[in-house]
Amino acid sequence: MEKKKRITYIIWFTVCTIISIIFIVPLYYTFVNSLRSIYSLPSIALTQKPDWSNYKYAVTLIPFLRYLKNSCIVVSITVFFGVTVDFFYGFAFAKLKVKGNKFLFMLLLSCMMIPGFALQIPQYIAFSNFGIKDTYWIWFLTCMAGSPGIVFLYKQYIESIPSEIEEAAFIDGCGFFRIITQIYMPICKSILAVGLFRVFIGEWGNYMTPYMFLTEKKYPLSIALFNASYTLPSDPTANLDPIKCAAALLYAIPSICVFFLCQKQLVAGLTAGSVKG
């Protein structure tokens, strides 16, 4: 039995190591090539003195900070309203015993079966008719609609919390809104972190929605870096792949930071969300 456990451990360790290498190698390659000279060939190892000026050019050759500000605005709207609204929806489906609750929940889940691309043309027509193209109201309205997957995650977690907590709060004179924000949200902070991280990653890398509805002046980094035409004034014909690698790494930093900041809560939330009760 001990030998079988050891073999299983070795197999899992090997699989996890291979998966880790698959994810780490592209980051390593991008980092190494972001430090090479624009006049050198691509390499898998840093064989020369690092050229940190690539990071300076990545920020200065295009309006990087303007695109970063646009990304922060879009992500802030989506994270704040998206996570909050989804939590309220999850609470309503889990705790409010009203007629039609289960039907509405099944209707919401059925929306998960509809591909996102199938909704793009109706959304474009609707938002154009509303006259809100090239505005951030688009993200506010989509957040109000809720995200079925995250609502389902919150509902399942909230259902595992004893209703006696809510009843005791009502007896003590606690209002409905206060019960959600001061009792349930702190209890659900781990699963909230999971929702926050999913929303952040999804919106930080969102390409299609900004491309469809925003003009170039309001483009976030996800579009700007894809369309960016880096040109060095002193040498317009130079190969600027190292500068593009530097820009890609700068773009990845916020996602990495959010992951490490939420890592503890993410692990707890994923574990809690996998078992009900």
pLDDT of residue 50: 86
Residue 233 has pLDDT above 80, yes or no: no
pLDDT of residue 276: 47
Residue 90 near residue 155 (C-beta atoms within 8 A): yes
Using only the alpha carbons of the chain, give its radius of gyration.
23
pLDDT of residue 224: 86
The tens digit of pLDDT for each residue in 97-152 reads 888 888 888 888 888 888 878 888 888 999 999 999 899 999 998 888 888 889 99
State mean pLDDT over 30-45. 85
Q: Phi first, then psi: what are they for 83, rounded to 5°? A: -65, -45
Q: What percent of the chain has pLDDT over 90?
A: 32
Residue 258 near residue 240 (C-beta atoms within 8 A): no
Neighbours of 160 (CB within 10 A): 14
Q: Coil, strand, or helix at residue 173?
A: coil
pTM confidence score: 0.84
State mean pLDDT over 160-183. 84
β-bridge mates for residue 235, sequence order: 232
pLDDT of residue 89: 92
pLDDT band at 232 (very low <50, low <70, confident <90, very high): confident
Residue 227 near residue 249 (C-beta atoms within 8 A): no
Alpha-carbon span 250 to 248, nearest angstrom: 5
Residue 277 has pLDDT above 50, yes or no: no
State mean pLDDT over 34-54. 83
Alpha-carbon span 127 to 145, nearest angstrom: 14
AA identity, residue 63? P
Alpha-carbon span 60 to 232, nearest angstrom: 10
Number of helices and strands in the chain (H, E): 14, 0
Alpha-carbon span 225 to 228, nearest angstrom: 5
Residue 275 has pLDDT above 60, yes or no: no
